[in-house]
Amino acid sequence: MRPRSLLLALPFVLIAPCGAQGATQPAQDAAAAWLQLADTAQYGASWDVAAALFKASMPRAAWESALKSVRPALGAVRSRQLKSATYTRTLPGVPDGEYVVIQYRTRFEHKAEALETITPMREPDGSWKVSGYFIR
């Protein structure tokens, strides 16, 4: 069975770099922690720590169901390499804010080449939380 693409939470289009910000590391750290939850099938916990915008766009049960329908078919993560991290203040279909669009080249047990896109956003309290996730 061939895994489906996964587009969850926020509809966005990948963007060209908007200028070097140099402050993408906190967003990358948040993404890495969030991906660890998804990688270990802690799907509900990944929803719990996501951005408010993410939670408003999809109920917890729907999120868990979506990940359960895709991630197990991919198998375990074999490797994940950072491809890019692009800071932006605007993305289509979502309020202006601070976002970092992060792409990883990922190898799964049952999918040799995948592109994961994860988009942390800065919350009002200054923390970075995941607002979107896509596997292609």
Per-10-residue mean pLDDT for the chain, 136 residues long? 44 38 84 98 98 96 96 96 96 95 98 97 97 95
DSSP E strand stretches across the chain? 6-8, 77-88, 99-108, 111-122, 128-135
pLDDT at 6: 45
pLDDT at 22: 56
pLDDT at 79: 98
What letter would DSSP give residue 94?
S
pLDDT at 17: 40
Q: Which two tokens stand for residue 20?
A: 């070097």
Identify the architecture of domain 25-135 in CATH: Roll (3.10)
Structural domain spans, the chain: 25-135
Q: 10 with 132: CB under 8 angstroms?
A: yes
pLDDT at 123: 97
